[in-house]
Every structure is written in structure tokens, then in C-alpha cells.
A = this chain, B = another copy of it.
Amino acid sequence: MATIDLTSDVVTLTAALVDIASESLDEQEIADAVESALSGLAHLEVVRDGHTIVARTSLGRRERVVIAGHLDTVPVNANLPSRLEGDVLFGLGACDMKGGVAAALLLAASVPDPVRDVTYVFYEAEEIAARYNGLGRLARERPELLAGDLAILMEPSGAGVEAGCQGTMRVDIRTTGERAHSARSWMGSNAIHALAPVLDGLTSYVPREVEIDGLVYREGLNAVGISGGVAGNVVPDEAVVTVNFRFAPDRSEADAHQHLQETFEGFGLTVTDSAPGALPGLTRPAAADFVAAVGAVPGPKFGWTDVAQFAQLGIPAVNYGPGDPVYAHKADEQVPVEHLHRVLTTLQDWLTT
């Protein structure tokens, strides 16, 4: 069984976590190591649910912060074991997100008496279909374990604060026509031609930019797939374009759906996938205080992340973690040593002053 040492420095601990392979659905070994290490800390109450570990202080503070990170990675891509080159640590998960997990674990060990109560959550299966997600399971089945005034999701954010996240909705827009031999096309009705106004709507669409809590969210409406056609000599009777709408978190999913129906009025829309956004919530005291302590100008999060799970529970949430997200899921995944130290130090300061 792998063990981890919570007295090591953050770079060494990140490397040790990277070297415990933990592809999604194979998190037993790393979860065992995390549970074992945290169970040795007298100031934390440790609860395990599947391969998801929750560790909490119970000091009766006025505020509680949830600090969370997932333990799983995407599949290995010739990027194990870890290796340190100069000021950069390379390896699967170094960026997404074992650097953040290492910082959170050392925070748990090094701050036994925080000024805010803390709930640490180390969870499984973030990189695969949502139904496996350990944080989602807790949110559905044991939401009391996630209660708090602010959540910090330690996903890579370049060691800056990214607040909220945009929602995402996918719809199929389907046109129908009537088949005919293409040599007698006037006998039929071309479903691909009928998509022309949909593509025109997409090209002329002006995405909204909206400022929320000082952050500018930039929406986007894009065709991500198109298909149609029966045979090379047949006027096709069906065509479909799949559109992905990334919407600012001031819209609900229902609002987003209505907006799409208005944008593509007269066409039949089928929602195939949808996830709500998350408001940044930076005006709430815990979040504002955190942003001030970090001293960084927060930015908006465009991609969908698990902060939305906290938002659904009514908890403002931010992404704050080491590593540039462009390296996530890449063969040359990496995290700067400086990010690891800075994120840990900043959180230690914030929890002790």
C-alpha cells in the first residue's frame, strides 16, 4: 500500500501523489493513502464515502470553508512517473490536479487551528461521466458534509482566482424534408438546405458579454456537429445540427433554453445535454474576504467545473489552484514549483490570520 508523508514539502508530496496512479474508477490506492494520512491528524474528523474522503475541523468558527480536489486523473499518456526539471514538476495529474490536492493535504496537516472551520474533500471520478462523480454523490446523498460559506475548488487556475462558471447546453436542431431523386429534385424538399437559416443565425449571432461581481462572462453559441444525407443521388429528408450554448451564470438552464428557442424560432430543438452555470458570488463576505487575501484580480471561469455543484447547494465557489489549465490532459502535463508554494502559503496565511 502506498503511503504519503504530510511532513514533506509540497513539491515532494505532489510528486508522490502523481506516482500513485489513479485513473478514474481506480482510486482505491490513492484514497487509502489519503484517508490513512488524514486519520493521523487529531484535529480532523475523517469520513469516507466510497473513494471520497471528507476531513473536517469542528472549532465552532463563525464561517466554514470547503476546500476540495479530485483524486482521479485521465488515462496515462507516457507521462509517469513524475520528474522534476528545474522549476517545473512534470507528470500525469501534476496540473490536474494533484498539485492542488497536495496543497490541500499540507494545509490540513499544517493548520490545526484555522480561523475558519474547514471541510477538506478529496473525491473520486471527476474526469468521467457525471454519474460517477464523488462530489456529486455527496451533494445528492450527504449534502450536510458539504455545508459551508465558501468553497475553494483547487482545480488549476494559474494560481489565480477564477470565480463561478458558465453553464452549457447542447441542442439538436433537426430539419425535415421530402426525399426525391436528385435528378428530379423539384419533386422533393431538401432538409440540408432547410438548415441554412440555422447556420445564418449562428454566424450572425452576437454573443452576450455580461458583468457579474466585476467579472465579464463571454457567452458562445457554436455548431459542434452537423449531419445529413441519404445517398449521392437523393434529396435528403432529414438533417441535424448540434449546437452548444455556453451561457453566463446569470441565466438559468430554463432561461438558456428559452433563449435558444427564440434564436432558432420555427425550428424544433431537442436538448441533449445541460448543466447549470455558477454565479461567482464574490459579493458574499467569505468569498470577498478570500479574494482580498489572495490579492489577485479574479477572472471568470468559462469552462464548466464542479464549482457549479456547490452553487447548486447555495455555496459560492471559486477555482483556485496551481498549474496552467492548458496543460491539463496533455502528455506534457506540468505544474510550476512556484505555483505550488504560493498557493499553499496563501491559503495558510488566509486560514491563520
- A-to-B contact residues, CB < 8 Å: 166, 168, 170, 181-186, 190, 192-193, 195-196, 199-200, 202-203, 207, 218, 220-236, 239, 241-242, 244, 246, 273, 302-304
Contacts and interface: CB of A to CB of B under 8 A. Distances in A.
A182 B169 CA distance: 11
A232 B228 contact: no
Contacts of A199: 192-193, 195-196, 199
A236 B244 CA distance: 12
A232 B244 contact: yes
B193 A196 contact: no
Given A224-B229, A227-B226, A236-B224, A246 B183 contact: yes
A170 B224 contact: no
Contacts of A182: 168, 220, 222, 224, 244, 246
Contact of A224 (B196, B200, B221, B232): B232
A144 to B, nearest CB: 31
Nearest to A325: B181
A224 B236 CA distance: 6
B220 A239 contact: no
A236 B242 CA distance: 11
22 contacts: A166-B183, A168-B182, A181-B303, A185-B221, A190-B222, A192-B199, A192-B202, A192-B225, A195-B199, A196-B202, A196-B203, A199-B199, A200-B200, A223-B228, A223-B229, A224-B231, A224-B234, A226-B227, A227-B227, A227-B228, A232-B244, A233-B244
A227 B235 CA distance: 15
For this chain, the copies found in one complex come to 2
A246 to B, nearest CB: 5
Contacts of A170: 232
Contacts of A183: 166, 168, 220, 246, 302-304
Q: Which of A186, A195, A239 has the most CB of B within 10 A?
A: A195
B228 A226 contact: yes
Contacts of A223: 190, 192-193, 228-229, 236
A99 B231 CA distance: 28
A224 B230 contact: yes
A153 to B, nearest CB: 16
A193 B185 contact: no
Contacts of A168: 182-183, 233
A304 B233 CA distance: 10
A218 B220 CA distance: 42
A60 B51 CA distance: 95
A226 B239 CA distance: 8
A207 B241 CA distance: 26
Given A196-B203, A229-B242, A246-B185, A224 B235 contact: yes
A300 to B, nearest CB: 11
Contacts of A227: 226-229
A190 B303 CA distance: 18
Nearest to A303: B183
A136 to B, nearest CB: 18
